């Protein structure tokens, strides 16, 4: 869409920056809250028998009502569930509106690399708490992805994307019918090759399967299924062809059960929440990884001096060092230190000469008789 900061949508939402592709940040002028706007293109929303060049406004209004009904039924009180504000049609776009506190999405977080397993467990525990609340309200989320989870400034995760997911599924059904090839094609265009969006079944069980995919993505930085394209992804999910969950470390048992093809074998959101709570209760204390892995650094003014190899001798048996074992390079130039002090050389030399003189005189006297 075209536009920029200051533009007003639906007479209520004032854009705060230049919109991205089908997404924009704004301020709700009625409440003063920051919101996220997501859009779906509607140029093909036509009813049977109508002029194909004219879009049907009533069709867009019907989608808005369906999205609004889900938003009204969602438990907005839950602290880990982002509140859906509403939906509206403007031009050829259907917009959904959701509260948006400060933070970054899991997708942005994963751009820097995988998440440690126990941190992934913390994030998953926040998300599964929101899923549990939705399921208890009789709703399924259907749009659990790294893009729909927001990590707030305090480190807590909040689940969003509910209304956007409802709008996409409703549009796929309206354009393609309740099932069949046409719906698959429309949905593939709207959703793309995102593994979490292609469970074998829908409803709460499908949400739990998507949670398993997301957990493995958090720990490894990639989905357990190939995401090169929708046909390849859907075939791999159907055939159960995926990366083993053993790569998830302490989260492997839970991820394995969440990804079971049989929905009756998967844990519910409440069971997954309890298992994550038990895992976190037994988590080790955070280690100072930097201190543990940092090598000992030497100060430039105190270099290490290597020891000379030990010599064996009377005093060096059994590997014990000889008395007086020295450091190479202990004197300037690295020369070996003398074994006798220079001050003693003179007296010893004089004494030696005197001793030779005495011995010579004694020899002369002896031979002279």
Taking every pair of Cα atoms in the chain, the longest distance, rounded to a whole number of angstroms, is: 156
- What pLDDT does residue 276 have? 98
How far from 279 is each of 13, 260, 316, CA to CA, in Å?
42, 20, 57
pLDDT digits (tens, 9 = 90+) for 19-33: 777 899 999 999 999
- What pLDDT does residue 69 have? 95
Number of domains forming the structure of the chain: 1
Structural domain includes residue 159: yes
Which domain covers residue 13, as residue numbers?
8-281
- What pLDDT does residue 329 have? 37
Average pLDDT, the chain: 82
Structural domain includes residue 341: no
Structural domain includes residue 180: yes
- Residues in the chain with pLDDT < 50? 45-50, 52, 287-339
pLDDT digits (tens, 9 = 90+) for 172-225: 998 888 778 999 999 999 999 999 999 999 999 999 999 999 999 999 999 999
Structural domain includes residue 83: yes
Q: From edge to edge, which strands make up the β-sheet containing 157-159? A: 103-105, 149-152, 157-159
Strand pairing class (93-99; 103-105): unpaired
- What pLDDT does residue 296 have? 31
Length reported for the chain: 369
- What pLDDT does residue 174 have? 86
Question: Where do runs of H (alpha helix) occur along 32-116?
Answer: 57-73, 106-110
Structural domain includes residue 303: no
In the numeric block, which tokens belong to residue 212? 């398993």
297/280 Cα distance (integer angstroms) = 35
Structural domain includes residue 24: yes
CATH code for position 87: 1.10.510.10
Structural domain includes residue 179: yes
Q: What is the pTM of this model?
A: 0.74
- What pLDDT does residue 337 have? 43
In Å, how far from its chain's centre is CA 116?
7
- What pLDDT does residue 300 have? 37
Structural domain includes residue 115: yes
25/105 Cα distance (integer angstroms) = 14
């Amino acid at each position: 869409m075209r536009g920029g900061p200051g533009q007003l949508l639906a007479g209520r939402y004032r854009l705060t920056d230049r919109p991205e592709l089908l997404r924009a940040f704004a301020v709700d002028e009625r409440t003063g809250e920051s919101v996220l706007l997501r859009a779906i293109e509607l140029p093909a929303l036509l009813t049977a028998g109508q002029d194909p060049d004219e879009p049907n406004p009533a069709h867009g209004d019907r989608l808005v009502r369906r999205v609004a009904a889900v938003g009204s039924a969602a438990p907005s009180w839950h602290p880990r569930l982002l509140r859906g504000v509403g939906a509206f049609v403007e031009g050829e776009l259907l917009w959904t509106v959701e509260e948006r506190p400060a933070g970054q999405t899991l997708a942005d977080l994963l751009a820097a690399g995988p998440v440690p397993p126990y941190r992934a467990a913390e994030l998953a525990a926040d998300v599964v708490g929101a899923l549990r609340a939705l399921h208890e309200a009789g709703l399924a989320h259907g749009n659990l992805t790294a893009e729909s989870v927001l990590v707030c400034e305090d480190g807590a995760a909040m689940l969003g994307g509910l209304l956007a997911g409802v709008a996409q599924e409703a549009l796929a059904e309206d354009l393609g019918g309740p099932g069949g090839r046409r719906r698959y094609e429309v949905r593939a265009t709207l959703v793309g090759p995102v593994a979490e969006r292609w469970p074998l079944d829908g409803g709460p069980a499908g949400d739990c399967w998507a949670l398993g995919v997301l957990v493995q993505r958090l720990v490894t930085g990639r989905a357990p299924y190939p995401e090169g394209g929708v046909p390849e992804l859907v075939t791999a999910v159907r055939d159960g062809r995926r990366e083993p969950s053993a790569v998830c470390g302490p989260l492997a048992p839970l991820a394995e059960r969440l990804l079971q093809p049989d929905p009756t074998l998967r844990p519910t959101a409440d069971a997954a929440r309890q298992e994550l709570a038990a895992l976190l209760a037994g988590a080790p204390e955070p280690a100072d990884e930097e201190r543990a892995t940092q090598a000992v650094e030497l100060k430039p003014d105190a270099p290490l001096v290597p020891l000379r190899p030990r010599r064996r001798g009377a005093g060096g048996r059994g590997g014990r060092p000889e008395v007086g074992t020295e450091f190479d390079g202990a004197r300037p130039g690295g020369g070996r230190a003398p074994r006798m002090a220079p001050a003693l050389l003179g007296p010893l030399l004089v004494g030696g000469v005197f001793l030779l003189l005495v011995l010579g005189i004694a020899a002369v006297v002896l031979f002279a008789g």
